[in-house]
Amino acid sequence: MKVLVINAGSSSLKYQLIDMDGEVLLAKGLCERIGIDGHLKHTPLVGGKPVFNEDVPMPTHSEAIAAVIDKLTSEEYGVVSSMKEIDAVGHRVVHGGEKFASSVLITDDVMEAIHECIPFAPLHNPANITGINACKAVMGNDVPMVAVFDTAFHQTMPPKAYMYAVPYNYYKKDGVRRYGFHGTSHRYVSSRCAELMGKPIEELKIISCHMGNGSSICAVDGGKSVDTSMGFTPLVGLPMGTRAGDLDAGVIQYLMHKDGIGVDEMLNILNKKSGVLGVSGVSSDFRDLDMAAADGNDRAQLALDMFAYWVAKVAGSYVAAMNGVDAIVFTAGVGENSKSMRSAISEYFKYLGVEIDEEANSKRGEDICISTPDSKVKVFVIPTNEELVIARDTKAIAG
Ligand code: ADP
């Protein structure tokens, strides 16, 4: 069975074609500047075909999907002989609200429910819907499509973890609560962690640290998310590349009044100009911060120190929430690549009996245990693979 995985943004669209017999990645690619002009980078990974990397007109997502299908099936760049070989499509959908606790086959009712969640994710869900509709337009209604939600994994959180201490009616009437994001990633790395430990996930308490441009931490108790650091939106929790993370709401009122800033501009500052970029004034990219800090830039060092401190602080609160922890997992861009950040965070876990094997911590690109055999809590680096989870769910539902 071959599954096409689609992750549609407002002006971009990432895809992978995976042969589920053996879970072989056949091709991957990225459409950019959809609605502006259009560019496609298509990378075939089998058959020794060349990479296609050129401008392609993409007034809408439909032309983008058509270009993807064209390349996937073409003589020169293709990995399948025709569209008929694509058995199902799995779509990443950011927000499923309280309606979806797992992945689902996309029906008209499901589309309506995804629409209803637009107010919770005004930037993401419309793009996801556009991606689904574009696929239907190009591929027809006979190819089954599955929605995999970023929020679904966190639907197991208990009310004491997901409720905000505001008037209850805001939850009842308006759905104001913690939803959490990166669920597909936390689900993947926690189950992979259990596999690597050779234990049933039901018996394990795992803290999953997804640290990329956007970052979140998740407490996974017995395979279920019981708390996570992102909230009603992906703005809160840790300081991120450009997002502020947790912040006293009083600061917002103070700055808006003092500087005469409107709510949209304020939110733009908190989403795009804050985080490690805002603190350092250097970059949102941790590689740039490492270099600047090594050159003696104090604010770059402060941003790195704050990030490590926040990861440790939130993870520590999850040790309390779960009454213990068996393993800590690092994943995503920073988690998978930054040895220095992993070391800095792990320093805070000495009270748990964590000991890092620095040689293992220097390795890259593989699932690896980076704690010593004596370490009381195991620490892993596990490259995340959200596309594979989407493809597996799609196979399970549509196969
Ligand atoms: P996204 O949240 O956009 O999916 P990623 O998980 O791809 O982000 O993470 C991207 C981030 O990973 C980059 O902004 C950069 O800060 C960080 N990163 C990538 N490689 C390294 C590295 N070698 N050292 C430190 N940070 C890195």
Q: What pLDDT, on a 0 to 100 scale, did the predictor assign at position 334?
A: 97
Ligand 1: atom nearest CA of 339 is 24
Say whether pLDDT at 399 is over 90.
no
Give the residues across from 310 on adjacent strands.
Answer: none
Q: What pLDDT, on a 0 to 100 scale, did the predictor assign at position 162?
A: 98
Q: Does domain 2-149 have CATH number 3.30.420.40?
A: yes
Residue 371 has φ and ψ, to the nearest 5°, of: -95, 160
**What distance in Å separates the CA atoms of residue 325 and residue 377, rounded to the nearest whole number?**
7
Average pLDDT over every residue of 105-133: 94
Fold of 199-381: Nucleotidyltransferase; domain 5 (3.30.420)
**What distance in Å separates the CA atoms of residue 384 and residue 315, rounded to the nearest whole number?**
19
Q: Where are the domains of the chain?
A: 2-149, 199-381
Average pLDDT over every residue of 254-275: 96
Residue 327 has φ and ψ, to the nearest 5°, of: -150, 150
- Other CB atoms within a 10 A radius of the CB of residue 224 amount to 17
Say whether pLDDT at 128 is over 90.
yes
Q: What pLDDT, on a 0 to 100 scale, did the predictor assign at position 238?
A: 98
CA 127 to ligand 1 centroid distance, Å = 23
CA 332 to ligand 1 centroid distance, Å = 7
Say whether pLDDT at 195 is over 90.
yes
**What distance in Å separates the CA atoms of residue 26 and residue 357, rounded to the nearest whole number?**
35
Average pLDDT over every residue of 254-265: 97
pLDDT in tens, 297-331: 999 999 999 999 999 999 999 999 999 999 999 99
Question: Is 150 one of the catalytic residues?
Answer: yes
Q: What length is written for the chain?
A: 399
Record the pTM.
0.95
CA 338 to ligand 1 centroid distance, Å = 9
Q: What percent of the chain has pLDDT over 70?
A: 100
| Pocket of ligand 1 from Cβ distances under 6 Å | 212-214, 241, 285-287, 332-334, 337-338
87, 109, 142, 150: the catalytic one is 150
Dihedral sign computed on CA atoms, order 120, 8, 307, 186: positive
Q: What percent of the chain has pLDDT over 90?
A: 97
pLDDT in tens, 276-298: 999 999 999 999 999 999 999 99
Q: What pLDDT, on a 0 to 100 scale, did the predictor assign at position 154?
A: 98
When the pLDDT of each residue in the chain is averaged and rounded to a whole number, the result is: 97
**What distance in Å separates the CA atoms of residue 22 and residue 283, rounded to the nearest whole number?**
40
Give first-to-last CA distance, the chain, whole Å: 7
Q: What pLDDT, on a 0 to 100 scale, did the predictor assign at position 10?
A: 86
CA 211 to ligand 1 centroid distance, Å = 8
Average pLDDT over every residue of 164-186: 97
**What distance in Å separates the CA atoms of residue 89 and residue 387, rounded to the nearest whole number?**
11
Say whether pLDDT at 102 is over 90.
yes
Helix boundaries (H) for 198-262: 249-259
CB proximity list for 220: less than 8 A, separation 6 or greater: 186, 190, 201, 204, 205, 206, 207, 208, 226
**Tokens, residue 127:** 């793009």
Q: What pLDDT, on a 0 to 100 scale, did the predictor assign at position 123?
A: 84
| Ligand 1 atom 21 nearest Cα | 337
Say whether pLDDT at 364 is over 90.
no
Helix boundaries (H) for the chain: 61-73, 108-116, 125-139, 159-162, 168-174, 183-197, 249-259, 263-272, 275-280, 286-294, 298-322, 332-337, 339-347, 358-361, 386-398
DSSP state at residue 324:
-
| Ligand 1 atom 14 nearest Cα | 285
DSSP state at residue 357:
-
CB distance 218 to 207 below 8 Å: yes
DSSP state at residue 128:
H
Say whether pLDDT at 345 is over 90.
yes
Say whether pLDDT at 89 is over 90.
yes
CB distance 8 to 61 below 8 Å: yes
Q: What pLDDT, on a 0 to 100 scale, did the predictor assign at position 365?
A: 82
